Amino acid sequence: MTDTPRHDFRASALRAIRIERSAIEALEERIDEQFTRACETIMACQGRVVVTGMGKSGHIGNKIAATLASTGTPAFFVHPGEASHGDLGMITSQDVVIAISNSGSTSEVVTILPLIKRMGAPLISMTGNPDSILAREAVANLDVRVAEEACPLGLAPTASTTATLVMGDALAVAMLEARGFSAEDFAFSHPGGSLGRRLLLKVSDIMHTGDQIPKVREGTPLSEALIEISRKGLGMTTVVDADGRLVGVFTDGDLRRTLDKAVDIHNTIIDAVMTRNGKTIGADHLAAEALNIMDALKINALPVTNPAGDLVGAINMHDLLRAGVI
């Protein structure tokens, strides 16, 4: 019995990566006046960008539509087969259509071209055949042809779909920058994810206020300050003057250092051991900023003050963890 030769999986994978990398690099010289015309067409669009494509091109089209929509260009995907059976009504003359077909002659896509042209919606094509009917009918053709597929049979769309995906990302990024799309704009379309929480959540949304703030007055015995730390459970207490302005903080770390010095907690006032001029944050700041401050200073809690220096809240690392900022 002879052993079956062991296949070199790594060699196959590396060959695929090299082919797809070459396909992406070849796109650089095709970012030309056609690409600019496509961008200008989308920028002038009064409606939405409608992406369509069949098979693997459709899967890529779905992703391109999602990327456009999440970066400031309203977009959605329409299946070309379903478009011929009623979904064409989702497209209006105010929209721009991006049709994807590697051959440029996919029957389901070609079938709806006359109807798109009749309604007056501008057509942008993404195809591997610049001489195809799809490319000829478009106001701009984005050339995504590849020298070869990563599939050794030359059959499975691999390098061609990668090139199409990258061209779609290039289009979305160009639109993003042209529109001045900001991180805050991005967060508004991603409110449910960790990105949205980091970019939208304010300190005021999660800070402790009122009686929840660990707080003692100047002149308070250290023993009473320790009771306040234990009662409020934030690992620290703030120290305020008679007008409610923050003058210092006393943390678990300060307590350890104080005990190392054998300080009498019953006969020592908080003023003698608290940290003065500590770091604070405003209620209108992003919660992510509070996290950055805590990480940088290796602390677990922050007092929250208003512009006048009045204590208005407190926040700690556990609050950020519960809110999903971390």
Domain identity same for 167 and 231: no
What confidence tens digit (pLDDT) does each residue in 186-245 have? 767 766 666 666 677 889 999 999 999 999 999 999 999 999 999 999 989 999 998 889
* pLDDT of res. 254: 85
**Domain finish residue from 151, 181, 211:** 181
* pLDDT of res. 19: 96
Domain identity same for 208 and 312: yes
Domain identity same for 242 and 162: no
Angle, to 10 degrees, between the axis of helix 222-232 and the axis of helix 252-260? 150
* Residue in the structure block whose two tokens are 């456009």: 68
In a domain? residue 4: no
- Contact between 315 and 305 (Cβ < 8 Å): no
Token code pair at residue 238: 């703030």
Token code pair at residue 202: 């304010």
What is the span of the domain harbouring residue 123?
A: 9-181
**Domain finish residue from 149, 181, 213:** 181
* pLDDT of res. 100: 97
In a domain? residue 196: no
* pLDDT of res. 324: 80
* pLDDT of res. 192: 64
What confidence tens digit (pLDDT) does each residue in 259-275 have? 888 888 888 999 989 98
- Tell me the CATH number at 90: 3.40.50.10490
Q: Please name which of 66, 99, 273 lies closest in space to residue 189, comparing C-alpha atoms.
A: 66
Q: Residue 292 pLDDT > 80, yes or no? A: yes
In a domain? residue 59: yes
Domain identity same for 172 and 34: yes
Domain identity same for 245 and 105: no
Strands 246-251 and 275-276, how do they pair? Answer: antiparallel
* pLDDT of res. 213: 94
Domain identity same for 128 and 174: yes
* pLDDT of res. 188: 72
Q: Please name which of 60, 54, 38, 77 lies closest in space to residue 164, comparing C-alpha atoms.
A: 60
Q: For the chain, give the percent of residues with pLDDT over 70.
A: 95
Count of the separate structural domains present in the chain:
2
CA dist list (Å): 109 to 87, 92, 130, 143, 295: 13, 17, 16, 17, 53
Residues 6+ apart with CB under 8 A from 175: 39, 42, 43, 68, 71, 72, 73, 181
In a domain? residue 109: yes
In a domain? residue 264: yes
Domain identity same for 162 and 280: no
**Domain finish residue from 132, 150, 181:** 181
Domain identity same for 113 and 163: yes
Q: Residue 184 pLDDT > 80, yes or no? A: no
* pLDDT of res. 1: 52
Domain identity same for 16 and 137: yes
What beta strand segments (E) does the chain contain?
A: 49-53, 75-77, 96-101, 123-127, 140-143, 215-217, 236-240, 246-251, 275-276, 281-282, 301-305, 311-316
Higher pLDDT, residue 190 or 282: 282
- Contact between 270 and 225 (Cβ < 8 Å): yes
6-15, 49-58, 78-87, 181-190: least confident range: 181-190
Rounded Cα gap, residues 51 and 57, in angstroms: 10
* pLDDT of res. 255: 87
In a domain? residue 62: yes
Rounded Cα gap, residues 69 and 39, in angstroms: 15
Domain identity same for 72 and 159: yes
Rounded Cα gap, residues 181 and 200, in angstroms: 15
Domain identity same for 93 and 14: yes
* pLDDT of res. 321: 87
Give the angle 14-16-17 at the CA atoms, nearest 5°: 65
| Secondary structure class of 263 (helix, strand, coil) | coil
In a domain? residue 173: yes
Domain identity same for 121 and 41: yes
In a domain? residue 283: yes
What confidence tens digit (pLDDT) does each residue in 77-121 have? 999 999 989 899 999 999 999 999 999 999 999 999 999 999 999
Average pLDDT of every residue of the chain: 91
- Tell me the CATH number at 289: 3.10.580.10
Angle, to 10 degrees, between the axis of helix 9-25 and the axis of helix 159-179? 40
Q: Residue 146 pLDDT > 90, yes or no? A: yes
